[in-house]
Structures are given as C-alpha cells and as structure tokens.
Chain A
C-alpha cells in the first residue's frame, strides 16, 4: 500500500491569507485526488490530477502535480471561513479499486 504524507497536520490562518498544503509519497502516483471533508460529512472530491506537472484551478484553489508524480500541492488564495475543513489527498494504485488516503490537513480559517 502506497503511503501518503500530508503536511502540515494542522493550519490556522486569518481570513484573506494564502496557504499551501502538501501531499507526498516515496512512490510514483498513478493519479491523485484531493478531497475536502467538513465535520459530520463525508469527503467531497475537489479534483483529480493525472499528468506530471499538471496544474488545475478551481476558483481560488490551485492544485499542482509534481513533474515526477510523487508530490502534489493545494494552494488557496485569499482564504475564506467557508474553506475550513479537513483536506485529504488520496490515490488509487494502478489496477486497484481502493483509495489510499493521507491523514489530512485540518484547516481553520478565522474571521
């Protein structure tokens, strides 16, 4: 099973600030997904990245997949209180149907 390391584990910032969270592995990802989970809810898929060097934007969120496909980052511009939640990265190994998740970054955006 591929291990995913996420950092930081916790992040507390003021509304309007920018932030970046990271997801790394010692193995190459076949693809990588980012999810956001709010308290009492299941994770919701934000994006899937497949190609090394790929950059995807979702409003104020920018997702980057490393050239070597061993790391990924999520950058949030001008954070809002609605961005508060647990951000999880996950990968499905080639030929595997199960998602392996990182332990997540718990983000708190303070008004």
Chain B
C-alpha cells in the first residue's frame, strides 16, 4: 500500500514479556517517528530517525524501550519486561524529511494497540 503500515495491529502480552512493534514507512520517506497515545496522556513523542540514525533518545520513557531502523526503511520499537503502564497505542509516522516548524507533513500509520495484562 501507499501509506504507513504497522504490525501487529493488536498485541496482548503478559507483564514481564518483551514485545516488538514494526513500522513500514512510506517509500522514500527519510524521517520516521514513534509516538505513544494513551488515555489521559494524549499523544506523546518517543523518538525520531533521520535515515538509520536516532540523534535524540530522550523521549523514550525508560531504558526498557529501544528502537532501531535498518536500510533507511523499516523500524522496530522494542519494549523489554513490559509493564501494565506500557499499555497504549503506539503510532508510527514518516515524512519526506525532518519535520520542523510544520514544513513537512507527517503521515501516520494506524497504530499498534498494546495491552499488557
């Protein structure tokens, strides 16, 4: 398809297990972003990639969270030793280039709904 795709669409996991969330950006988009959307907290930025590089990881909530991007395309967000507070919808977005001051539109995927029981 032409849009951003994410998999799985839903993931239920037990507390303490590791999970991997995948994002396929729009072809040719060099910038990729991960966000988390939870009830009461709204949509919060986690991390961005320019190519395969993530210059700023300060948005990740804890050291249990990591992300990588390979080949300037697919990205995975990994959460180790999941906790119940990690339950949220994880959204990925991509843009032609880094989006500063609204210069470039970010296209969002449908998200992965993670439930930690």
For the complex formed, measure the closest distance between the CB of A13 and the CB atoms of chain B, giving whole angstroms.
22
Interface residues of B in 92-115 (CB under 8 A from A): 93, 98-102, 105-111
Q: Is the CB of B48 within 8 A of A98?
A: yes
Q: How far is the CA of A19 from the CA of B41 in the complex (A)?
A: 25
For the complex formed, measure the closest distance between the CB of A42 and the CB atoms of chain B, giving whole angstroms.
3
Q: Is the CB of A42 within 8 A of B99?
A: no
The chain B residue with its CB closest to the CB of A90 is B43
Q: Which of A33, A90, A96 contacts B100 (CB 8 A)?
A: A96
A91: which B residues are within 8 A, CB to CB?
102
Q: How far is the CA of A98 from the CA of B41 in the complex (A)?
A: 16
Q: Which of A48, A88, A100, A102 contacts B45 (CB 8 A)?
A: A100
Chain A interface main SS type: loop
Q: Is the CB of B42 within 8 A of A31?
A: no
Q: How far is the CA of A33 from the CA of B101 in the complex (A)?
A: 9
Q: Does B59 contact A (CB under 8 A)?
A: yes
Q: Is the CB of B43 within 8 A of A97?
A: no
Q: Is the CB of B108 within 8 A of A42?
A: yes
Q: Is the CB of B110 within 8 A of A99?
A: no
For the complex formed, measure the closest distance between the CB of A22 and the CB atoms of chain B, giving whole angstroms.
16
For the complex formed, measure the closest distance between the CB of A48 and the CB atoms of chain B, giving whole angstroms.
4
A44: which B residues are within 8 A, CB to CB?
108
Using known A-B contacts A31-B102, A92-B99, A92-B102, determine if residue A97 contacts B91 with beta carbons closer than 8 Å.
no
Interface residues of B in 15-71 (CB under 8 A from A): 31, 33, 35, 41-45, 48, 59
Q: Is the CB of A43 within 8 A of B102?
A: no
B48: which A residues are within 8 A, CB to CB?
97-98
Q: Does A103 contact B (CB under 8 A)?
A: yes
Q: Is the CB of B108 within 8 A of A99?
A: no
Q: Does A40 contact B (CB under 8 A)?
A: yes
Q: Is the CB of A42 within 8 A of B93?
A: yes
Q: Does B4 contact A (CB under 8 A)?
A: yes
Residues of chain A having any CB pair with chain B under 8 Å? 30-33, 40-45, 48, 50, 88, 90-92, 94-104
Residues of chain B having any CB pair with chain A under 8 Å? 4, 31, 33, 35, 41-45, 48, 59, 91, 93, 98-102, 105-111
